[in-house]
Amino acid sequence: MRRYSLLCFPILVMALIGQAPSTSAASTDPCVSATMNMVGVCGSFVSKVQNAAKSLVGAPDSDIAAAAAQIPPPTTQCCGVYRDFLSAGCNCDKGVLALAAAQSTPEQAVATQTRVWKVACNIDPSFDHCAVAASASTLG
């Protein structure tokens, strides 16, 4: 299994916010709003997911589930905010992925963090617009 150095998510958020031309523009971008909301509500859980996901890029679902079980569970409110993040497609948003890549966080590492979040929050895959889009594109 290949290890990747993962970006501290709050730094990614600050970079994303820093790119926004104004506060009003940031509030109209669903991924900026969802990301700011997630970091504000979930706090330290964001770092716990990052730490758990560091060595799990490409890991089987059983390893992801075991890692998610080792971290304290997020609050119901935190999971609700993460559902909003997924529903907006922010985990595969080109801007978010470009910022992550600029900070040496490859797309695979972002995808691994998404897998840990989904297990920790018991989120059905249908809430992940990226996974739904990928499945649809492979069907035909």
Interatomic CA distance for residues 17 and 36, integer angstroms = 8
Domains in the chain: boundaries = 9-139
Taking alpha carbons only, the member of 71, 108, 72 closest to residue 91 is 108
Per-residue pLDDT for 8 more than 80? no
Q: How confident is the model at residue 138 (pLDDT cuts 50, 70, 90)?
A: low
Q: What share of the chain is helix, strand, coil (3-state, %, to 5)?
A: 75, 0, 25
Q: Is the pTM of this model over 0.75?
A: no
- What would the pLDDT profile of 55-73 be if each residue is shown by its tens digit? 899 999 999 999 999 999 9
- What would the pLDDT profile of 9-66 be if each residue is shown by its tens digit? 444 444 444 444 344 444 456 786 777 788 899 988 988 888 888 889 999 999 999 9
Please tell me the predicted confidence (pLDDT) of residue 78. Answer: 96
Return phi, psi of residue 63, to 5°.
-70, -40
Q: How confident is the model at residue 125 (pLDDT cuts 50, 70, 90)?
A: low
